[in-house]
Amino acid sequence: MKAVKYTKDGVVIPSAWVKGWGKPVSVRRGAYMVILESPERQASRQRLGRMIGKLRRSAQELGPLTPDQIAAEVAAVRTPRARRP
C-alpha cells in the first residue's frame, strides 16, 4: 500500500493497478468506498439489477405463498438420498 497516496482531495492509486481492465474504467464514489470497474463489469452489474427488479415485481404480483404451497415445492424439488443397504 506504499504506492497509494493520500491527499486532501482523496486517494490517488497507481494506474498500474487497473491495467488489463481495458482502456476505459468507470470510477464512482460510494459513501465509504471508491468503485472502479470496467464497462463490461458495469453492464453485467446493471443487467443483474434489472433481473432482480423483474423478479421482485413478479413475486409481488403472485402474492404470498401459503405454507402448503412451500411444502409442495420443496417436496417436488427434494430428491431421495442414496442409502447404503
For 25-67, the pLDDT digits (tens) are 777 877 777 788 888 888 999 999 999 999 999 989 988 888 9
More confident position, 23 or 35? 35
User: Cα separation of 18 and 25, whole Å?
Assistant: 8
User: Cα separation of 55 and 60, whole Å?
Assistant: 9
State the pLDDT at residue 77: 84
State the pLDDT at residue 47: 96
Q: Which residues 6+ apart lie within 8 Å of 5 measured at CB? A: 11, 12
State the pLDDT at residue 51: 95
Q: Is 11 helix (H, G, I), strand (E, B) or coil?
A: strand
State the pLDDT at residue 1: 58
State the pLDDT at residue 62: 87
Partnered with residue 26 across adjacent β-strands are 37
